[in-house]
Amino acid sequence: MMLTTLWLLFLTLLSAGLEIILFLYLMGQKIRLRYFFLLLIFNLAFNFIYNHSSWFIIKFWGEDIYYLLLSFLLSTKTKKPLKIKIFNGLFPDILNNLSLRLITFFIFPFFNISITDYKSSLLISIPSSIAPLCLSFLFIKLFKESFTILQKQKSNSPIQHIIIVANFFMFGYTLLLQSLMYLENTTHSSTLELRKLCIVISLVLFFIMIVFLERNIREMIQGQLDFQKNLQLENLYTYNKHIECLYNSVRSFRHDYSNLLVTLRLGIDKDDMDIVKEVYDSVLQESDKRLNTRNFDLARLVNIQDNTLKSLLSAKVLQAEEEGIEAQISIPEPIHLIGMETLDFIIVTSIFLDNAIEGAIQTQNPKITISFWEDHCSQLLSISNTISEEKTETKTIFERGVSNKGRERGIGLANVTEILDNYINVNLETQSNNFSFTQQLTITKKA
């Protein structure tokens, strides 16, 4: 009797521990060992409560409720959308449940193993408890890349409708199977055949759902890659034109410089300081100004390690200069974006730069300043521009439809808010004073 009790306790601990590991593996989350044991104790306590509860919803949906609560608990420090939290809470338990029922309903009978044998035989109970979890691990491993990308999706993700459908499917599966179990327990009539049919249909729908989700995730990734590639190609022509202009300026200076050397040599040979002074006053001082024009500011973009960001900044700076706006760039050291998705950062930066150009062009002395630097714990992007009034409203401009540019034109900054709401490590400060408007984005480096 004691041996059987200890054996059942060991199987319970093993199964609960593996289920928690499966859950954490899906979320891609690592926790300390002491927290793992706390989750294990919490799991056992919750199992005891719902196994001895007379409440229908607790007794038959207790495990699903537990993992939903756990998903929300572990996501408190992140800004994951509600639909992702629900998906994380339901998916591991549904996957494990399907695996278990597949084995007990269809594989056990093939080897003449009954439910009674499963519960009474030690040789059968161990592999039977571990096998469904192993199948679940293999399944998640097979689609791990897609599940990892899924965890990073924002509230406005293009695949959000697929996630919602998946959540409804999993809710429906749990509701149907547990209702059949409740019906069997209360009416003492077998629902086994009906449950087998539900499992077959659910397995087919489950795999269709996963394949569809996988395909949509890959299409979304390809779309993001195409966006970045097209952005680089659009800006590459402008950037190359500027490089060509710089090359011609340098070549022209080199030609002038050769002629100057000849003139200076003649003045030196004749010991004629008037010629030397004339060459210096009329030409050499001007050549210094030529090398210090803002056309050479783009050379500072060499410190940007992300090619897409570099092409965007170069194109926007050149656009500003074509509009007659003075553009200053300050990127003192090599920097590589971390702590934020490149695509999101590109969109936010592009909106800031477009608004800065539109704001500066309306002023008498138009100017924009772009700074991007980092310290030991964060990266900072600052974009400022001159404005036509001493101070502008900064509290309402992020609302959709509100803009200083006119009615129903405030879309860009509203999109910025939606993007930044998904990052707990990103902070935006907006300031306006002394005829200047500044957006400063602080990205705290993730540990």
Tell me what pLDDT residue 442 has: 94
Q: Please state, in angstroms and rounded to a whole number, the distance separating the CA atoms of residues 191 and 97.
A: 17
Tell me what pLDDT residue 380 has: 94
Tokens of 392: 């502008």
pLDDT in tens, 324-346: 898 888 898 888 888 888 878 88
- Greater confidence (366 vs 119) lies with 366
Q: Which of 125-129, 144-148, 201-205, 245-249 has the lowest mean pLDDT?
A: 245-249
Tell me what pLDDT residue 74 has: 85
Tokens of 370: 């772009």
Tell me what pLDDT residue 91 has: 92
Q: Please state, in angstroms and rounded to a whole number, the distance separating the CA atoms of residues 372 and 309.
A: 11
In the chain, % of residues over pLDDT 70:
73
Tell me what pLDDT residue 125 has: 66
pLDDT in tens, 137-159: 999 888 888 888 888 777 667 78
Q: Which residues fall within 8 angstroms of residue 274, CB to CB, at 6 or more apart?
A: 267
Residue 401 pLDDT greater than 70, yes or no: no
In the chain, % of residues over pLDDT 90:
12
pLDDT in tens, 279-302: 666 555 555 544 445 554 556 777
Buried b (16+ CB within 10 A) or exposed e, 52-68: eeeeeeebbbbbbebbb
Q: Please state, in angstroms and rounded to a whole number, the distance separating the CA atoms of residues 256 and 240.
A: 24
CB-CB neighbours of 436 under 10 Å: 19
Alpha-carbon dihedral 160, 163, 164, 170, rounded to 10 degrees? 180
Residue 408 pLDDT greater than 50, yes or no: no
Mean of the pLDDT values across residues 2-9?
68
pLDDT in tens, 22-38: 888 888 888 888 888 88
Cβ–Cβ under 8 Å, residues 371 and 330? yes
Buried b (16+ CB within 10 A) or exposed e, 375-408: eeebbbbbbbbbbeeeebeeeebbeeebbbeeee
Cβ–Cβ under 8 Å, residues 402 and 391? no
pLDDT in tens, 58-111: 566 777 888 888 888 888 777 788 899 999 999 988 998 898 888 888 888 887
Tell me what pLDDT residue 146 has: 85
pLDDT in tens, 209-257: 888 888 888 888 888 777 767 766 666 666 666 566 656 666 665 655 6
Tell me what pLDDT residue 47 has: 75
Of the candidates 36, 65, 37, the residue with the CA atom closest to the CA atom of residue 50: 65
Mean pLDDT of the chain: 79
HEC per residue, the chain: CHHHHHHHHHHHHHHHHHHHHHHHHHHCCCCCHHHHHHHHHHHHHHHHHHHCCCCHHHHHHHHHHHHHHHHHHHCCCCCCCHHHHHHHHHHHHHHHHHHHHHHHHHHCHHHCCCHHHHHHCHHHHHHHHHHHHHHHHHHHHHCHHHHHHHHCCCCCCCCHHHHHHHHHHHHHHHHHHHHHHHHHHHHCCCCHHHHHHHHHHHHHHHHHHHHHHHHHHHHHHHHHHHHHHHHHHHHHHHHHHHHHHHHHHHHHHHHHHHHHHHHHHHHHHCCCHHHHHHHHHHHHHHHHHHHCCHHHHHHHHHHECCHHHHHHHHHHHHHHHHCCCEEEEECCCCECCCCCCHHHHHHHHHHHHHHHHHHHCCCCCCEEEEEEEECCCEEEEEEEEECCCCCCCCCCCCCCCCCCCCCCCCCHHHHHHHHHCCCCCEEEEEEEECCEEEEEEEEECCC
pLDDT class for 440, splitting at 50, 70, 90?
Answer: very high
Cβ–Cβ under 8 Å, residues 443 and 338? yes
CB-CB neighbours of 165 under 10 Å: 13
Cβ–Cβ under 8 Å, residues 326 and 294? yes
CA 20 to chain centre: 25
Residue 400 pLDDT greater than 60, yes or no: no
Q: Please state, in angstroms and rounded to a whole number, the distance separating the CA atoms of residues 389 and 377.
A: 35
Tell me what pLDDT residue 148 has: 84
DSSP state of 374: E
Compute CA distances 116 → 96, 120, 121, 220, 376, whole Å.
21, 6, 8, 48, 62
pLDDT class for 407, splitting at 50, 70, 90?
Answer: very low
